[in-house]
Chains A and B, each alone.
Chain A
Amino acid sequence: MQSLSIISVNIWQILISFANLAILTWIIKKFLFKPVKKVMDARRETIDSAYARADAAEAEAEEHRKNYAAAMAAVNQTTDQMINQAARDAERRGAEIESAARDRAREIREQAEADAQLEKKKAEDEIRREIADVSTQLTEKLLEREIRPEDHRGLIDSFLEEL
């Protein structure tokens, strides 16, 4: 079999080799780089969209948290108001009850004082009546007997003792 000499230039061979490299470049572009890059791009897109979704979810959660905090604050405020209201009501009711009780006590005392006054008056009246009775009796006694100064004095003393 014939061989080329160790250095021999053949333009057709050069052309073939030129075409070979060009074709191989196309092959590598079409069958290696294109599919691999497509898959890598698809993966990047998937990852990006996953990140975007995660960010959106985080933002949403944050918003929920804020809403919840606001709602909680509102609820706390209402509760405070209600408690204050209740405390005020209770105070007012207490004051009312107290004043009513005081009124009633005064009434009772006044009543008692009036009763006592009445009793006193009655007693005075009784005493007066008794005094009148005693004077009447005394007068009767005096009239029965002659009045002497010592008798008189003794009478008065006995009267006073009797009184």
Chain B
Amino acid sequence: MTCLTEENRTRGPDARFRVKDRLLIAMMILPLVCCIALKVCFTPESEGVDISGAMIYLTIQGFPVQDLVITESQINSWAIMVTILGFCLWLTHGLTEKAETKRQLAAEWIVEKCENLVSANMGERYAGYEYLVAAIMGLSALSSLSCLIGLFAPTGDVNVTAGWAILVFALVTYTKMQGGFLNYLKGFTEPIPIFTPMNFISEFSLPVSMAFRHYGNVMSGAVISALIGTALRSLSRMVLGWIPVIGSIPLLQIGLPAILSIYFDVFSGLMQAFIFAMLTMLNVSGSFPQEAWEKRQAKKAIRKQRAAMAKA
């Protein structure tokens, strides 16, 4: 008995560690599985070409302006967020100073790459943006890749990318206001006041272009994949339909859709994630009004000095 308990005691933390590990891995996989199950349950049976947006799971009425609709893209986004949270917890589970596990090396690699990317593209001032950049990359890439397991890619919904683009736009505007609110407003009248409407348009074209670039790339890939898949199925039925058993299997669908998927789903998805993150970094760091900010800091310093003098 004592032997057993001792063994248990020595094995205790290790066993608990492994159990927690399994739970975290389950936390990564289960949300996606639930999403698939949900989709399977709700997808109507249809044969023809069906190109539409996200499925609506729930509509809540009574909200101002528009009804709140909970669609596939929201549910999938949340599932992906939980997956990423699980992945973060799994990566940081059992960190040691000596970095004994490959998992820790991977975690440190990710963190260092993000730091380097942000400091190389934005400068040291924007070190706080590495979290946002990492979040954009992770969320966007996983969202685009989620169509590989049969889910609707949340990035194929313009509302999702619009939300992200508006966050980026807010950050850009916040950075521009570092030089003072009046300076920010004055920036619209440059180089001459007549340009003001055009400046407004160019200002608000940033979130629109970012949202539509990402959404359009993913959605167009999905549309092309669907069209070609359907076309191949029809072709298969036409050419091989007369053979008794084999005719019912769309044999021609083997091959080409997979190759297209590698380009549209994997490559394009990852590419767009990287592009969105790069645009975020460049727009935010590029909109910083260096001169106005320096003037403002100088003014602040003078004001502080005067206040101190008055006190004395």
The interface of chain A, by Cβ under 8 A from chain B, is 1-29, 31-33, 35-37, 39-40, 42-43, 46
Contact = CB atoms under 8 A, between A and B. Distances in A.
A6 B52 contact: yes
B63 interface: yes
A28 to B, nearest CB: 5
A14 B162 contact: yes
Contacts of B219: 6
B167 A1 contact: no
Contacts of B66: 10-12
A6 B51 contact: yes
Contacts of A11: 65-66
Given A4-B71, A14-B166, A32-B110, A25 B56 contact: no
Task: In the A-B complex, list the 3 residue pairs whose CB atoms are closest, starting with the nearest.
Answer: A17-B163, A4-B53, A13-B159
Given A1-B56, A25-B135, A20 B78 contact: yes
5 contacts: A9-B162, A10-B69, A15-B163, A35-B92, A39-B95
Interface residues of B, number: 57
Given A7-B158, A27-B81, A35-B95, A20 B107 contact: no
Contacts of A21: 132, 135-136, 139, 163-164, 167
Contacts of A25: 131-132, 134-135
B84 A37 contact: no
Nearest to B166: A18
Contacts of B81: 20, 23-24, 27
A51 to B, nearest CB: 15
Main secondary structure of the interface of A (DSSP, over half): helix
B227 to A, nearest CB: 13
Contacts of B78: 20
Contacts, number: 151
B131 A33 contact: yes
Contacts of A10: 66, 68-69, 159
B43 interface: yes
Interface in B24-79: 42-44, 51-56, 63, 65-69, 71, 73-74, 77-78
Contacts of A31: 85, 88-89, 92
Given A24-B135, A39-B96, A3 B69 contact: no
Contacts of B162: 9, 14, 17
Contacts of B97: 39, 42-43, 46
B77 A3 contact: no
A28 B87 CA distance: 10
Interface string B106-141: 011011001000000000000000111011101100
A153 B110 CA distance: 156
A36 B130 CA distance: 14
A3 B91 contact: no
A13 B73 contact: yes
Contacts of B63: 12
A29 to B, nearest CB: 4
Contacts of A27: 81, 84-85, 88, 135
B68 A33 contact: no
